[in-house]
């Protein structure tokens, strides 16, 4: 089966790994992803000339529903950070009119029968808080959420980047609303919903990042 150019590029996001996981992802060129296809010179420098030419030559069919991409991840997982900043977000920037992204921060966390600390996380308590903050931001900002999560995950300190990233990409959403979500019960309900979604995966996830296209598992190579 021959894929259309945009869809082929979408699948490339799971087969374009660097071969190593780093603690602080770095952009592949000096331009942000939103500008990669602005000019031929930028596309060449960012090594996306072929992809930009294919995308620009193909107009999306509005009658066809967008590809649903769901990412199951953890906020402080090094491999997840690389995937979000170097593969998912750049691809979404160019193909956002044909792809719908759902972010599920939970991953290998576990629910506990405790009202005060109902989750334990693979990378410790800071990751649990990061997952909680990101779940609240995703819930409150909707369409701007991927930009905010990208901003956070590309920062040296994910948690401390949350407030300035929110102010940058969703200035109409107050930080107090995020803080209220995190501290007054809504955040835990959102995390429980993420836990239910993650446990419902078939096949069950064995690692993160874990990506599905239209509900079907796709292998991520990092």
**CATH number of the structural domain spanning residue 72:** 3.40.30.10
Residue 34 lies in a domain: no
Residue 57 lies in a domain: no
Q: Please give the residue that has the higher pLDDT: either 74 or 36.
A: 74
Please tell me the distance from the alpha carbon of residue 188 to that of residue 55, in angstroms, as a whole number: 40
Domain that holds residue 212: 67-217
Residue 15 lies in a domain: no
Q: Please give the residue that has the higher pLDDT: either 28 or 89.
A: 89
Whether the model pTM is above 0.85: no
What's the mean pLDDT in 8-28? 49
Q: What is the largest CA-CA distance in the chain?
A: 56
Sequence-ordered list of residues with C-beta below 8 angstroms from that of 139, at least 6 positions apart, any chain: 181, 186, 190
The tally of domains found in the chain comes to: 1
Residue 46 lies in a domain: no
Asked if pLDDT for residue 101 goes beyond 90, the answer is yes
Residue 1 lies in a domain: no
Residue 28 lies in a domain: no
Residue 44 lies in a domain: no
Residue 13 lies in a domain: no
Sequence-ordered list of residues with C-beta below 8 angstroms from that of 24, at least 6 positions apart, any chain: 81, 156
Residue 64: what pLDDT? 76
Is 83 in contact with 222 (CB distance < 8 Å)? yes
């Amino acid at each position: 089966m021959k894929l259309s150019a945009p869809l082929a590029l979408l699948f490339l996001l799971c087969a374009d790994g660097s071969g190593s996981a780093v603690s602080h992802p770095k952009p592949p060129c000096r331009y942000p992803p939103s500008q990669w296809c602005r000019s031929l010179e930028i596309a060449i420098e960012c090594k996306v000339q072929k992809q930009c030419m294919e995308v620009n030559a193909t107009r999306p069919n509005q009658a066809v529903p967008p590809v649903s991409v769901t990412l199951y991840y953890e906020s402080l997982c090094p491999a997840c950070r690389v995937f979000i900043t170097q593969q998912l977000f750049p691809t979404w920037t160019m193909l956002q009119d044909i792809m719908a992204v759902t972010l599920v921060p939970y991953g290998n966390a576990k629910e506990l029968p405790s009202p005060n600390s109902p989750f334990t996380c693979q990378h410790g308590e800071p990751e649990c808080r990061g997952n909680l903050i990101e779940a609240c931001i995703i819930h409150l900002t909707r369409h701007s959420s991927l930009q905010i999560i990208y901003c956070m995950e590309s920062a040296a300190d994910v948690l401390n980047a949350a407030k300035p990233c929110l102010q940058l990409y969703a200035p109409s959403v107050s930080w107090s609303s995020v803080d209220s979500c995190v501290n007054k019960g809504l955040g835990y309900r959102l995390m429980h919903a993420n836990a239910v979604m993650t446990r419902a995966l078939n096949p069950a996830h064995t690692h993160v990042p874990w990506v599905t296209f239209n509900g079907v598992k796709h292998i991520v190579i990092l």
